[in-house]
Structure 1
């Protein structure tokens, strides 16, 4: 059938195969011309894209069951219903829409679900024995946190309080989160990892409720380790907070740490930050996050352990861990992981070019080191400026000693 309209519509559909409105128009014209089989094919294609299209379903039913052509007017889209006329008086729906970013609707169906539930709880199996090297960090953790917890009789004898938490700080990528999981494993406790995205809410007052939900869940499932990641974002200095909601989060966090409304027995709070000087000072007062541990770039033993971990499941040969540890002095754990990734990529690309798979060797790893620089340098420079020119209440004593030992102060 040589129909100019049909041919033009077919070309248009070929040029825009996802335009269902155009394809449905073609199907309608085919049906009107008695080409039922072709109309069925086009209408079926529309339904595969839009299963709820009532016009395509109606056309398909007519093409399959009716011998006569339908009235084209019946296939035209129905006029949209006119909007309901607003009732006299104040338009509450419009008002709620306008303030939706500030407050929840006045009436809702049922109560909102809590921000945290049992699905957020983890049971780490990692312990501090899985943390390579870092002997000074482990000693500090044991003295400030683990020894009193593991020896209740001695704790009672010496009147050692369990109130307060532990703040880990240091360059990014040096294993603070891994250490927090290891502490939870040592204690046989549940683990709740929380970041700013888990706490902050768009509605006023909800962020504070999220903080309370977090501690309520931890108390119900005690012993529990709450890990506050990036504490400088969650508990930033209230004098620097640009939004009043962030100041409310800090106040709610202080109340929960103090156990104003509940007993925090069995709830252990660990926090980590790369910017401890931006944390609200009230969070570091006695009874809160009053113990601090500086987590530095991994030492020689730790760097060997990190290389061994990241290469354990890769095809390697002749790997000299001692040389790699020497070449990556000052690297963070994340930097070392990237070195292994670059080495693996180098071996993979060469194997793809030659068509023969080969093992990852020291040349690949040296190439990875050459392509990577330590990410801890900028942090150490910022820390040096804080220690040299900022106010220090003794929190950064470890940091000052380290900077002196590496001749950065």
Structure 2
């Protein structure tokens, strides 16, 4: 092959890069000259413009094909007989033929196949459940204060569950659930765990992030799967946290997905198509007036319980709990309980954290470790304020102007005492 001809054609291609015919001619000469690597670049340029070009595809196959092994006739010595039959079989593929691909070897290099999402029908391995049922070791005795709340829980919820004979005698139904409401940080979630501990039941905590999904229909599917996990884990306490977000009033929702999610929740609470025996539904919210009224109808979340900020005895018990594992010295919890009127349980925990922080920072500065004293709490009291003020303003308006049905009479009674 005349190398000068190839060099001349290469110069012509550089001068006219859009001349595809010229490129193909140059690529053919390069393939014939055994310079397939240089030919690939020119053929790829042609295929980018004309992907259906048969000539370009043929040249590409020839350019990337490995060099063929010499035939036995080529390796025979000059004096070897040449009268061998011309139709003898050979394993050498013709020049330019594509090589075979070992698919079995390629599949063995891959991991386990991943199934497609949203496939109807049962599978051999469904994988881990989206919701986990846990066991809790908390009992009502571990809840500081809230004596009246504990009594109402015992009378309206726990006693019928513990005494099935009396329940059947008096015709007491287990249908329905319990809605805990009140200001934030007052222990509604902790109470729900304590109920599960009293029943010896598993516990599933559900928030808005566990249910809400950006894809159409997936939120409803999450609700359905949630109740299926609860039924298979019975006895189980299913706790719906921040119910005003999950079950917002459909009349106020502009999102059709939120409305259909509430519809699915209503269906599951009614036990349509399945049995909710052994599934005890508890819910908590700071704003029960924002919950869809259909969720609070009989047979659903038909019982409500107001969880108020802790009284003085409860505040003292909460303070003792948070100081139990800290190095304290001469802490007057009774005086602190009196000085923290209106504090929620979360506020009291924050107060103890702030006092501990004061002692820690002084120990770091002086280089000497010291105990937590009343001076640290006095400083923390000057910085920490009750956090339920905004909730009280909203609750007062509801109790005064939106309580025609009397469902918030207990809230109104407590607010009158607060004055």
1:394 offset after TM fit, Å?
2.8
1:291 corresponds to 2:303: yes
Q: Which residues of 2 match residues 114-193 of structure 1 at below 5 A?
A: 117=129, 120-193=132-205
Q: Secondary structure at the match of 2:135?
A: coil
TM-score, structure 1 normalization: 0.72
1:249 offset after TM fit, Å?
0.7
Q: Secondary structure at the match of 2:252?
A: coil
Structure 1 pair 114/303, CA: closer, same or farther in 2 (3 Å)?
A: farther
Q: Quick check: 1:116–1:214 contact (8 Å CA) kept in 2?
A: no
Stretches of structure 1 that go unaligned for 5 or more consecutive residues are 1-72, 74-78, 88-106
* Structure-2 separation of matches of 1:116 and 1:332: 38
1:109 corresponds to 2:116: yes
Q: Which residues of 2 match residues 6-405 of structure 1 at below 5 A?
A: 109=116, 111=118, 117=129, 120-405=132-417
Q: Quick check: 1:116–1:217 contact (8 Å CA) kept in 2?
A: no
Q: Quick check: 2:403–2:409 contact (8 Å CA) kept in 1?
A: no
* Structure-1 separation of matches of 2:201 and 2:343: 31
Q: Secondary structure at the match of 1:315?
A: coil
Q: Quick check: 2:134–2:203 contact (8 Å CA) kept in 1?
A: yes
* Structure-2 separation of matches of 1:255 and 1:230: 19
Q: Match for residue 62 of structure 2?
A: none
Structure 1 pair 271/115, CA: closer, same or farther in 2 (3 Å)?
A: farther
* Structure-1 separation of matches of 2:286 and 2:127: 26
Structure 1 pair 84/311, CA: closer, same or farther in 2 (3 Å)?
A: farther
Q: Secondary structure at the match of 2:304?
A: strand
* Structure-2 separation of matches of 1:360 and 1:221: 45
Q: Secondary structure at the match of 1:120?
A: coil
Q: Quick check: 1:226–1:268 contact (8 Å CA) kept in 2?
A: yes
Structure 1 pair 136/222, CA: closer, same or farther in 2 (3 Å)?
A: same
Q: Secondary structure at the match of 1:270?
A: strand
Q: Quick check: 1:236–1:250 contact (8 Å CA) kept in 2?
A: yes
**Number of residue pairs the alignment of both structures matches:** 310
Q: Quick check: 2:131–2:229 contact (8 Å CA) kept in 1?
A: no
Q: Match for residue 19 of structure 2?
A: none
Q: Quick check: 1:215–1:256 contact (8 Å CA) kept in 2?
A: yes
* Structure-2 separation of matches of 1:235 and 1:85: 58
> 1:235-259 deviations in whole A, cap 9, x for unaligned?
0000111211000110000000000
Q: Quick check: 1:176–1:295 contact (8 Å CA) kept in 2?
A: yes
1:114 offset after TM fit, Å?
7.7
Q: CA RMSD in A?
A: 2.5
1:115 offset after TM fit, Å?
11
* Structure-2 separation of matches of 1:382 and 1:315: 40
Q: Secondary structure at the match of 1:129?
A: helix
1:352 offset after TM fit, Å?
1.2
1:109 offset after TM fit, Å?
2.1
1:140 offset after TM fit, Å?
1.1
Structure 1 pair 248/83, CA: closer, same or farther in 2 (3 Å)?
A: farther
1:136 offset after TM fit, Å?
0.7
Q: Secondary structure at the match of 1:269?
A: strand
Q: Quick check: 1:190–1:223 contact (8 Å CA) kept in 2?
A: yes
- Which structure would you say has the larger Rg? 2
Structure 1 pair 250/318, CA: closer, same or farther in 2 (3 Å)?
A: same
Stretches of structure 2 that go unaligned for 5 or more consecutive residues are 1-37, 39-43, 53-113, 120-124
TM-score, structure 2 normalization: 0.70
